[in-house]
Amino acid sequence: MIRRKCSSIFAWRTFSHHPGFTIGHRWHFSFHLVAIVLSALCIIFNTGQTIGLALFLASFPKLTGVYFVTFFGAFAYGFFCVLITFWFAYKGQITPAMREWRWTRYMFYVSIFDAANALLITFSSHGSRVPPAITSILSQITIPFTFIFSKLLLRKNYRWLHFSSIGFVLLGVIFSLIPTFKQIHDGTTDTTLKQGWYWPFVYILGCIPSAIKTIIQERLQVDFTKYAREREEKITRFSVIYFQAVETMFQVTIIVLCFPLDLVPGFGTSDSIDQWWSSFSDGFKCLFNVGHTLNDRCHIAAGTGMLYIVSCLLASVIGTFLTDHTSANWLAIVSSISPLLSTSFWFIFPGINRWAGVADVTGWDIGFNLGALPIVFIGMVLYQSGGTDRQVDEEMPLIDKHPTEFLW
C-alpha cells in the first residue's frame, strides 16, 4: 500500500518501505542516505560547473573561446559517457528494452533542449555580455519555469506545502541578492551591457530549455520504469550513463550543425568562416598549450577546462539520477543553492575573482548568502513534507520490491 504522507525528509518519493540501493549487488545503502549525499554532490558539482565556465571562458582571448567551450565541453563528457556505456553494455546492463526507438526519441528531444541551453547560456555568460552580478539573479528563473512546465507537461499534483516550498526557496534567493540589488542601485558594481542590451534576455531564454529538458528526462524515466515493470524486465530503471551517452551524442551533433550561429551579427563571435575556423582551431591550441602562444593564460586552460568538464559530467549524471528517484522540481530546488556557494568562492579567492573578471564580492554578499541557506533549506523540507507531486498511478511502478542497483 502506498502512503501519501511521510514525516521523514527524503521519504516522500520512496516511502517507508523503499528497499534502498546496492553497489555491485553487495553493499546496501538506504535511500535516505543516497538521496542526501547525491543532493549535496549535485550542489557541489553545479557550483563547480558555474565557476569552471567563468574560468574556462576567461582562459581564451576576449570572446574567441565561446563556441569552442560550448562544443568541447559537451564532446568531452559525452565521449567519456560513451566509453563507460560500452562497459555497461558488455556487462549486460544496457538492455534491449532501453535501446528501443521510443526511448531514443525521448533522448533526442532532450538533446535539442540541452543544446539550446548550452548555446544560449555559454554565449551569454561572458562577463562582457551579462555581468556575473546579473547572471546570479537570472539563473534562478529556472525554478519557476520548472514548476510551471512540470504542471503542464507532467500533470504534477501540487499541494499547499509545495507552493510554500517554492515561496521559501525564492525568498531565500531574493534575500541572498539584496547586496547585489543595492550595488546595482548605487552603481557600485559593473552591470554594463557592453555587447548589447538584449543579452540578459538571451540568458533568460537559455533557462527555459534547461527546465524543459529535465522534465522530458523525468518523463522518459517514469514511462520506462512503468513499461519495464509491465514486461517484468530484470532492470526497471533506465541506465543513467546510457542516457547521458546517447543524449550527449545528439547534443554534440546539434551543436556542430549550429556553428553558423557563431557567424550571426550581434550574437556570434566571428565575422567570417575563416575567422570562425581560426578561433575554433586556436581553442584546441590554447587548451593543450601547443603551437604559438595565444595569450599568457593558455597554460592553465587545460586545468580550467578539466574543472568545467568534470563538473558538467558529474552534475549531469547525478541530476539524471535525481530526476529518476526524486523529480525535476527537486533538482531545480537543490540547484538554487549553487549560486550562493559560487559567490562564496569568489569572495574567498579574490585573486581568482579578478583574473576571471568577476565582480568584487563583499562581506555583505557572504553574510546574506549564509542567511539565505536556512531559508532555502526550510523550503526543501517543506517540499519533501508535501508528499509526492506525481500522479499516484505513476508512483506505483516506482516502488521497488528489491534494492535498486546504483550503477545501472
Question: HEC string of 213-232?
Answer: HHHHHHHHHHHHHHHHHHCC
As to burial, measured by CB atoms within 10 angstroms (0-12 exposed, 13-18 middle, 19+ buried), residue 275 is middle
Amino acid present at 225: T
Q: Is residue 368 pLDDT above 50, yes or no? A: yes
Is residue 213 situated within a structural domain?
yes
Is residue 10 situated within a structural domain?
no
CA distance 168 to 170: 6
Number of domains in the chain: 1
Q: Between residues 83 and 170, which one has the greater pLDDT? A: 83
Query: Which 3 state secondary structure label does DSSP give 72?
Result: helix
Q: Is residue 124 pLDDT above 80, yes or no? A: yes
Question: Helix %, strand %, coil % for the chain, to 5?
Answer: 70, 0, 30
Position 406 scores a pLDDT of: 63
State the residue range of the domain holding 379: 21-405
HEC states along 248-273?
HHHHHHHHHHCHHHHHCCCCCCCCCH
CA distance 71 to 160: 42
- The helix or strand, by DSSP H or E, that contains position 27, with its residue range, turns out to be strand 27-29
Is residue 7 situated within a structural domain?
no
CA distance 228 to 234: 8
Is residue 307 situated within a structural domain?
yes
CA distance 259 to 8: 49
Position 403 scores a pLDDT of: 62
Is residue 8 situated within a structural domain?
no
Is residue 304 situated within a structural domain?
yes
Is residue 9 situated within a structural domain?
no
CA distance 118 to 67: 10
Phi first, then psi: give them for residue 133, nearest 5 degrees: -60, -30
Position 3 scores a pLDDT of: 41
Position 371 scores a pLDDT of: 82
Is residue 343 situated within a structural domain?
yes
Q: Tens of pLDDT along 312-364?
A: 999 999 999 999 888 888 898 888 888 878 878 888 888 887 787 766 667 77
Q: Tens of pLDDT along 128-147?
A: 677 665 666 677 778 888 88
